[in-house]
Amino acid sequence: MIRIVIIALLLLLSLNAKSEVTGYYAKDKDVKHFINYMIRKYNFKREYLVQTFSQARKPKRFRTKKRNRRVKLGVAKGRKWWLKSVGFTAYEKRYLNEDRVKQGVKFVNRYKSTFDRIEKKFKVDRYTIAAIVGVETYYGEIVGNWEVFNALAYNAFRKHARAKLFKYELEKLLVLCYRQKLKALYLKGSKYGALGLGQLMPHSYLKYGVSFDGNSRIEPFSRIDAIATIANYLHHKGWKMGKEVAVRASYKGRKFKRIKKSTRYKISQATLRKWGIKPRKQLKVKYFKLLKLERAEFDEVWLAFNNFDVLKRYNNSDYYAMVVYQLAQEIKKRDKRRK
């Protein structure tokens, strides 16, 4: 009789252990609330969530010392040093080098048939898609070595200003993995949760993800699915194939002092004439945004159109959008198989 009672107690304890998180998040009340929320909203199995969080671990520390040291050096050495080391010149050297252009041409030609179908369906040109993959992950060679689940969970359940955002992305990651039969704990990406060749966040894969390789599964690390997903994203954000992205303009002098930084509002051609700005190409549109890209020795002035804004929806940075545009143009020039 005593033996039966002991066995029953052990079974009860083992069942209870399966319903409780162990490991790093064992005592975290927010994790328990999150698990209950996922069960209520998506009908997840408790055992799966408990097992996943029990295997999760604290990621390695985020490295901020290098950036802080660079900021201090910038203050000490002055703005000219800062622009050479961190400004658009440094950004350009990193992303617009010869090797990245050559690899971009190879990437476009390797997936020519895929790009042919994608351009017809999504109305987004192959060179822009290739440039985004080239800037984000060097055409799939550098996709990040952070465990995405661990990175998102760590940021979601510690107290800081963006915890709510990371919790939302963690939620979408679990849903994505469940629907596409992916193993959440084994996905690698950036320390902020971006994954795949396009380095999109989980919620973007759920909303814009496309299976284009015929297996009906959205796979972030499939090159064909990644190309289609980026195209679908740009298409929904308003990309217009064949339309201008940006046009460079000339002005008197080497430093443009009319504005401190790029304008968020649109200006007219009349304002351009008033400020002494001359586009290097004849414009058909009446309004556009004015970009100022600072270099150590001079400033570049560009006129940006709707497609430039679409690139900024992918990554909200003038530098980013500009290198993607310029890399796309360089790949297009070198592509001898272009139609």
pLDDT band at 83 (very low <50, low <70, confident <90, very high): low
Mean pLDDT over 275-289 rounds to 89
The label of the residue with tokens 């661990």 reads: 150
Asked if 35 contacts 49 with a C-beta cutoff of 8 angstroms, the reply is yes
Backbone angles phi, psi at 214, to 5 degrees: 90, 0
Give just the sign of the alpha carbon dihedral 251, 257, 261, 267. Answer: negative
State pLDDT tens for residues 208-267: 999 998 888 999 999 999 999 999 999 999 999 999 999 999 999 998 888 887 877 788
Task: Tell whether pTM > 0.85.
Answer: yes
Q: Across all residues in the chain, what is the average pLDDT?
A: 87
66 or 255, higher pLDDT: 255
Tokens describing residue 48: 């799966």
pLDDT at 86: 62
Q: How far apart are CA 136 and CA 146, in angstroms?
A: 15
pLDDT band at 295 (very low <50, low <70, confident <90, very high): confident
Distance of CA 66 to the CA centre of its chain: 22
Helices (H), 157-268: 163-180, 202-208, 223-236
pLDDT band at 63 (very low <50, low <70, confident <90, very high): low
pLDDT at 9: 45
Q: What letters, b where the CB count within 10 A reaches 16 and e where it falls short, cover 29-38? A: eebbebbeeb
